Structure 1
Amino acid sequence: MLRAFARVATRRPLTVIVLWLLLLVLGFGVGTGVFGRLSDDVAGIPGAESERAANYLDHVDPEGESLTAVVSGTAVADPALRAQVERAVAEVRAIAGVAAVPDPYRTHGLTAADGRALIVPVTLDGGLDDDAEDRAIDAAVARIKAIDAPEVHVSGGPLLGRQLGDRAQEDVRDAELISLPVVLALLLVVFGGLRAAVLPLVIAVSGIAGAFLALFAFSQVTDVSVYAIQVTTMLGLGLAVDYALLTVVRFREERRHTDDVGEAVRRTVGQAGRTVLFSGLTVAVSLTGLLVFPSTFLRSMGLAVAAVVVVDMLAAITLLPALLTLFGGRIAPARAARERQEGRVFARLARFATRRRYAVLAVLVPALLVLALPVAGLRIGLGDAGQLPRNTEARQVYDTVDAHFPAGTGVSPVTVVLRPGTREATADAIRALSPGSVSRALPDGATVVQLQPSGSLDGRAATDLVRRVRELRGAQPVEVTGAAAQLVDFRAMLAERAPWAALTVLAGVLVLLFAFTGSVLLPLRTVATTLLSLGAALGVVVWVFQDGHLAGALGARGLGSLSLTAPPLIVAIAFGLAMDYELFILARMREARAGTGDDRAAVVDGLRRSGRVVTCAALLLAVVFGAFMTGGFSPILQIGLGLTLAVLVDATAVRMLLVPATMALLGRRAWWAPPALRRAHARFGPAEAAPAAPRETGCAAGRGQPERA
């Protein structure tokens, strides 16, 4: 397959480039339509009790969406302001599609005790189509914002999703404006010339276009989370740079051995392209674990991110070879250097780790385990608008309510559906769980009881209330829904399905690593060392965002839990990225071992030839993740920090020290496989091009040598 890609790229490069230009146009034209289709609902699980009860209520007793407006910054009892607010309330009530707007001055709890703020809830009619709902929302927001007060903010309901979508689009644009120039500057240092440095960015932009197009396609059949934009874009950008860096470095090496650009491209695709292919497949397989979960959010994220990875992989083995065929003759070959001058630092690290393998293991393994300890106390929560940046409308509504109203104001109630046949004693016991509970009858004879929890919508009080209701009901026809019930169901789903997701990913990764290496032990060793770096990164994220240590330095605060979106995505994506760098290193070790037959020398030589590429790739990826962390969304901060740490720890301590130490510990056994599997690998395993003569590598190879004019 790779030979076919190489032939097409070298014989018909313009055709390949035109096809990718078409994808680029579609991605930035049609694909960006996804920004208007984003959802802020991530906790729904089809078939779960909370989802069944919510669907039942929507069918039997549909209620419209609601908005929340807050007016603050002055004495709200001022006669002039009161007259304005009452006129606005009356006019909003008259808007087509608005069901109810209570008078905040005559409704208990809507005016703050300090007299400096008031809340105006707006409830829309149920059953509105999207256009009618949008017209009602726009008209209501415009009228409320016309109130002359120091601060007037409106959010909630569909408006929240729209606001988050707009903010996500701004954050992606800002992150690209920050990361692309920095990445280009680093690539100029890496390659010492503009032509070679620009090529990875071309692949990166293609990856972004593919990300938008994939998300837009998925938005036609399922909900796409607002967080999907940042996650898929930053991963697509980072992996595209990684794959292009590996390929261009290899091409410059091959140019040292032939003046035929087409032959250099074919050799590059045969060697680096094989690594990119397996790397992309391994990252995609790592994300398929998310498909095991019934959560619509996790499944859509897994599919979307895997699609982006595949786009990056295809760009690196089709578009990049075509570009190299046309323009590679103007890119200077890597400069020949003496063997002892190539990758001296990484060769020394490898020799140290192989000679002091027991000491390396005795120091690094406990250190990484200590960093992973906070994971034992990991808690996930739905979070609230307090996770958003301070300059978002939803956060401003949240902060105003939090500052002027009692704790728990505006917290979603726990909704209990008592179907016909529920004993009266059980119903009374459920109502008694929350003072001030509210009941109403439904047309089909059922009763809805709303219990108001104390604290936050996903706090211990709210989730305990859900569990107590479910304990009280026994086998009676009682169902619980609401935000807290969704969280309880989501946690139960994770606990039930996580082992199956892990088994699915491990099975796929072990098969791919065996196909790449022909070894049974190397895949097991790779998984073990990867779990150490992954645990350490996730432990630091828990320590910062859940426990609140140093969170302020990142513009966040301790939340008492992680966003339910963060841990599954960090684990899935970081595991795949770690496999990425492992394959970069193993590919060089295999080449060196095939050439010399010396296992110990192959470890040193493989790290010497790949160390700088892995280090540069990790640094560039960290720059990309860091740029996306400037947006301020707490879930994105959590995911960004987790992936940045996982990449840096894995590319340094694990790949530079633990890998050579464990390889030396295993010795020749590292490449062992049972005879039957060896024969199967020899017969069915992917073939690869023979490497050229020994060559130098590293992100500084050829640095300082000008490109050809």
Structure 2
Amino acid sequence: MTTPDPRHGALLRRWGRLVARRARAVVVGWLVFIVAGFAVALGALGTPSLFDRLDSGEIVVDGENQQGRDLLAEGGGSGFSTYTQTLTGVDLADPAVATAATVAVRDLTAIEHVESAVNPFVVPEGPTSPQALRFVLDGDPASGGFATVVTFDPDNTAEDEAAATEEVDVVLDTLAAQTGATGDQRGGLRALVDRIIEQVKIDGQRGEGIALPVSFLVMVVVFGGFVAAGFPVLGAVASIAGALASLLGLSYVLDLDASVVNVVTVLGLGLCIDYGLLVVSRFREELRALLRGAPVSETTRDQVMAATASTMDRAGRTVVFSAITVAISLAGLLVLEIPFIRAVSVAGVSVVLIALAVALTLIPALCALGARRLLRKGTESAADVGVFSRLAEVVHRMPWAVIAVVSGLLVVMALPTLRLELTSSGPELLPKGTPERVFYEDFRAGYPLLAGAEVLVVTRAPVAEVEAWASTLGERPGVESVDPVRTLERGVSTVGIQTGDSGTGDASRALVDSLRTDRPPFEAFVVGQASGIVDFRATVAERAWWAVGLVVLATLVLLFLMTGSVVIPVKALVMNVLSLGAALGVTVWIFEDGHLEELLRFTSTGAVENTIPLLVLAFGFGLSMDYEVFLLSRIVELHEQGYDTRTAVTLGLQRSGRIITSAALLMVIVFAGFAAGDLLVMKQMGVALVLAITIDATLVRMLLVPATMSVLGSANWWAPRPLRRLHERWGITE
């Protein structure tokens, strides 16, 4: 057996000693950082809070849909700054109703920051005229319902619009009372966006409220004590504070979607718990090895410093490798020209760096300060025989059977991915029964001409030419009806086409394909959710291979520097593909096919949100490599000490198996907070990542990795001679 070269890892060893020597100062510094981070991010110092600077809505990319939306905005038809009231149970033929509605419009337009107000009673010829019917429930004056649409000035600030909305509601209250309405609903796109942002905040608080205490209880069981369990949890709190503060800073240079906050803060929370678990476990192991069974009361300061140095040299190196792999997988998303995805990428990398800083400073400092309490149950080293070593021996005896069964199972689980259908939901993101969703569903059903068509054609062509072309649209696939051509400002006109599927179903998709293939005889843009989905998929298809190539290349290089092998990195990538494919396949089976709706409390839209596959692949790949690094670092360490491959795998699995399964369980708990939320996109993300982590930490790391390493034997460590020389010079070893 060889002795590790003391020159290797000198930097991390020195760092560990420095942290142990200045442990109190490090902890105090982090406590100040935690308080300041939460105060700044939540607006406790009088500055805008992070949640005040978030946005949410349809995720758009460059393409025809966005060009059409820009043209629509030029014509004043974006609809974002509108606020609508719908009344039912009203007699539209009653003169008193007409008077009240007319007075309401006059009072509404007199409010500061209101640009206009319209209902059927201020349209020439009254509510029975063709121009007014779009403001009437079901287009039928006998239906007893009508809408009043208030448009705010487009240059309003959020505060201006909020203040104006309060005054508008007073007028609308009066209108409802004077007309004798039995039903009164109000809403708008801004209100919907605000509700989604609020739901993100609620789901995030709920998820963290579940994750932290449950994780703490699990770690109490894992470590056998409250002190050791508390260290990673304190690190997780620090990561949340740092994540929120960094996101606030990024919000000044990037447009941050509300869902970005939950995604990256929960990632930081999970990584900090994982890294804290690894560092605390390794510190106890190193300190026990130094004490060799001596009473814990005899622990010296030098031994604590030596244990901290060794922990940073070994577990610290693993954490650095892990953080780099996760950061690489997230950085690969920068290649995609999608603002939302790029924001996730930048924010995610920043949070990974915070988790790394916590693991290399706060956690070892806490270990140094609480060294004696960490070993209060004894200083004897753990045995190298246990559940995981016995599992490895079973796998060694029948590796081919394990490879065949596990690989076959993963392929079967991945098959639903072949029929993956993407969507971009709006109100459907909120649970059924949410007032904002109810308003939009009822509004679209009762006022289809006012709510907007599922597919919209936007153009600056002459109106007569547009009308002539629109008269032929009834022959297109998916068309239920065609709205009258609407003229806006600056020569912009629109043709609304109703498909009856809320804009994301098969009819809308078929119509968009038809309109983009057989185009109008004039310049026009096809706009709508289905059109946006087409552009999203095209953008991803165009740039995805660059992202995949960069991530794969960087990962191969990183794992080669760690192992000195070209076989192990390639094998790791293949197994990650199988693992992530299986997780995505089950996600499709659940959310696209509508299984487990009652258990998970969601209503299927018949598709998966378009950002989910990208985020699951990026986050899942990073976390899969995280556990790969945890396991490989132990196996490589043992192999470099002279153990043969089979023994190194057996001992490596025994010494890291408990850490990997515990870390995976804790990460599952963290991401289960997403699954417990109400926002559909967050629920899909949570379930998909829970599946990815569970599959990877059990089927892949515990079975497939030892089985393939057993079959390959010494070939695991093969590399061409030039690369071996390169690794001898530049490789990162123990």
Normalising by structure 2, report the TM-score.
Answer: 0.86
The structure-2 alpha-carbon separation of the partners of 1:171 and 1:77, relative to structure 1 and needing over 3 Å to count, comes to farther
- Could you tell me which residue of structure 2 aligns to residue 354 of structure 1? 396
The answer to whether 1:615 aligns with 2:643 is no
Whole-Å separation in 1 of the counterparts to 2:406 and 2:697: 14
SS in 1 for 2:456: strand
The structure-2 alpha-carbon separation of the partners of 1:103 and 1:18, relative to structure 1 and needing over 3 Å to count, comes to same
Conserved 8 A contact 1:343-1:609: no
- Could you tell me which residue of structure 2 aligns to residue 662 of structure 1? 708
- Could you tell me which residue of structure 2 aligns to residue 345 of structure 1? 387
SS in 2 for 1:415: strand
The structure-2 alpha-carbon separation of the partners of 1:377 and 1:409, relative to structure 1 and needing over 3 Å to count, comes to farther
Compare 525-534 and 58-67 and name the one that shifted more: 58-67
The answer to whether 1:257 aligns with 2:272 is no
Compare 200-209 and 458-467 and name the one that shifted more: 458-467
Deviation at 1:243, TM superposition (A): 0.5
- Could you tell me which residue of structure 1 aligns to residue 168 of structure 2? 140
- Could you tell me which residue of structure 2 aligns to residue 326 of structure 1? 369
Query: Unmatched 5+ residue regions in structure 1?
Result: 689-709
Deviation digits for residues 469-505 of structure 1 (CA, Å, limit 9, x no counterpart):
3223389533333433222211211222222221121
- Could you tell me which residue of structure 2 aligns to residue 583 of structure 1? 629
Deviation at 1:283, TM superposition (A): 0.7
Deviation at 1:379, TM superposition (A): 0.9
SS in 1 for 2:375: coil
- Could you tell me which residue of structure 2 aligns to residue 48 of structure 1? 63
The answer to whether 1:554 aligns with 2:575 is no
Conserved 8 A contact 2:280-2:364: no
The structure-2 alpha-carbon separation of the partners of 1:547 and 1:518, relative to structure 1 and needing over 3 Å to count, comes to same
Conserved 8 A contact 2:119-2:148: yes
- Could you tell me which residue of structure 2 aligns to residue 600 of structure 1? 646
- Could you tell me which residue of structure 1 aligns to residue 150 of structure 2? 122
- Could you tell me which residue of structure 2 aligns to residue 701 of structure 1? none
2:354 corresponds, among 307, 311, 318, to 311
The answer to whether 1:224 aligns with 2:234 is no
Compare 57-66 and 310-319 and name the one that shifted more: 57-66
- Could you tell me which residue of structure 2 aligns to residue 418 of structure 1? 459
Whole-Å separation in 2 of the counterparts to 1:59 and 1:13: 59
Conserved 8 A contact 1:585-1:606: yes
Deviation at 1:419, TM superposition (A): 4.2
Query: Unmatched 5+ residue regions in structure 2?
Result: 1-10, 43-48, 122-126, 291-298, 475-480
Whole-Å separation in 2 of the counterparts to 1:27 and 1:82: 55
Q: How does 1:76-91 map to 2 (within 5 A)?
A: 76-77=90-91, 91=107
- Could you tell me which residue of structure 2 aligns to residue 678 of structure 1? 724
Q: How does 1:219-618 map to 2 (within 5 A)?
A: 219-258=251-290, 259=299, 260-332=303-375, 335=378, 342=384, 344-390=386-432, 392-401=434-443, 405=446, 410-419=451-460, 428-430=468-470, 432-433=472-473, 435-441=481-487, 445=491, 447-473=493-519, 477-618=523-664
- Could you tell me which residue of structure 1 aligns to residue 227 of structure 2? 195
The structure-2 alpha-carbon separation of the partners of 1:522 and 1:373, relative to structure 1 and needing over 3 Å to count, comes to same
Deviation at 1:669, TM superposition (A): 0.9
Whole-Å separation in 1 of the counterparts to 2:516 and 2:205: 46
Compare 236-245 and 14-23 and name the one that shifted more: 14-23
The answer to whether 1:94 aligns with 2:134 is no
Deviation at 1:574, TM superposition (A): 0.7
Deviation digits for residues 298-348 of structure 1 (CA, Å, limit 9, x no counterpart):
110111112111211111011211222222233217756687x54522112
Whole-Å separation in 2 of the counterparts to 1:154 and 1:306: 40
Whole-Å separation in 2 of the counterparts to 1:647 and 1:25: 32
The letter for the 2-side match of 1:227 is S
- Could you tell me which residue of structure 1 aligns to residue 296 of structure 2? none
Whole-Å separation in 1 of the counterparts to 2:153 and 2:716: 66
The letter for the 2-side match of 1:253 is E
The structure-2 alpha-carbon separation of the partners of 1:104 and 1:218, relative to structure 1 and needing over 3 Å to count, comes to farther
SS in 2 for 1:224: coil
SS in 2 for 1:199: helix
Deviation at 1:389, TM superposition (A): 2.4
The structure-2 alpha-carbon separation of the partners of 1:554 and 1:411, relative to structure 1 and needing over 3 Å to count, comes to farther
Deviation at 1:131, TM superposition (A): 3.7
Conserved 8 A contact 2:612-2:681: yes
The structure-2 alpha-carbon separation of the partners of 1:24 and 1:42, relative to structure 1 and needing over 3 Å to count, comes to farther
Whole-Å separation in 2 of the counterparts to 1:579 and 1:63: 44
The letter for the 2-side match of 1:450 is G
The letter for the 2-side match of 1:503 is G
- Could you tell me which residue of structure 2 aligns to residue 5 of structure 1? 15
1:108 corresponds, among 116, 120, 133, to 133
The structure-2 alpha-carbon separation of the partners of 1:214 and 1:550, relative to structure 1 and needing over 3 Å to count, comes to same
2:52 corresponds, among 36, 49, 53, to 36
Deviation at 1:439, TM superposition (A): 3.0
The letter for the 2-side match of 1:221 is V
Deviation at 1:431, TM superposition (A): 5.4
SS in 1 for 2:458: strand
The letter for the 2-side match of 1:449 is V
Deviation at 1:639, TM superposition (A): 0.5
SS in 2 for 1:235: helix
The structure-2 alpha-carbon separation of the partners of 1:594 and 1:51, relative to structure 1 and needing over 3 Å to count, comes to same
Compare 521-530 and 53-62 and name the one that shifted more: 53-62
Whole-Å separation in 2 of the counterparts to 1:628 and 1:323: 30
Whole-Å separation in 2 of the counterparts to 1:279 and 1:302: 17
The letter for the 2-side match of 1:278 is F
Whole-Å separation in 2 of the counterparts to 1:117 and 1:210: 51
Aligned residues: 683
Whole-Å separation in 2 of the counterparts to 1:12 and 1:84: 74
Whole-Å separation in 2 of the counterparts to 1:296 and 1:108: 39
The structure-2 alpha-carbon separation of the partners of 1:70 and 1:663, relative to structure 1 and needing over 3 Å to count, comes to farther
Compare 158-167 and 106-115 and name the one that shifted more: 106-115
Compare 408-417 and 260-269 and name the one that shifted more: 408-417
Deviation at 1:218, TM superposition (A): 1.9
2:30 corresponds, among 5, 9, 20, to 20
The letter for the 1-side match of 2:403 is L
The letter for the 1-side match of 2:191 is L
The structure-2 alpha-carbon separation of the partners of 1:343 and 1:83, relative to structure 1 and needing over 3 Å to count, comes to farther
- Could you tell me which residue of structure 1 aligns to residue 478 of structure 2? none
The letter for the 2-side match of 1:429 is W
Whole-Å separation in 2 of the counterparts to 1:284 and 1:428: 55
Deviation at 1:550, TM superposition (A): 1.6
Conserved 8 A contact 2:673-2:686: no
Whole-Å separation in 1 of the counterparts to 2:653 and 2:432: 45
Conserved 8 A contact 1:69-1:152: no
Normalising by structure 1, report the TM-score.
Answer: 0.89
Whole-Å separation in 1 of the counterparts to 2:269 and 2:230: 14
The structure-2 alpha-carbon separation of the partners of 1:596 and 1:498, relative to structure 1 and needing over 3 Å to count, comes to same
Deviation digits for residues 13-57 of structure 1 (CA, Å, limit 9, x no counterpart):
234334433432342122232211222134222x42222332344
Whole-Å separation in 2 of the counterparts to 1:127 and 1:281: 43
The structure-2 alpha-carbon separation of the partners of 1:353 and 1:104, relative to structure 1 and needing over 3 Å to count, comes to farther
The structure-2 alpha-carbon separation of the partners of 1:439 and 1:682, relative to structure 1 and needing over 3 Å to count, comes to same
Whole-Å separation in 2 of the counterparts to 1:583 and 1:52: 45
Whole-Å separation in 1 of the counterparts to 2:677 and 2:63: 33
The letter for the 2-side match of 1:36 is D
Deviation at 1:229, TM superposition (A): 1.9
Whole-Å separation in 2 of the counterparts to 1:493 and 1:248: 44
The letter for the 2-side match of 1:410 is A
Conserved 8 A contact 2:620-2:692: yes
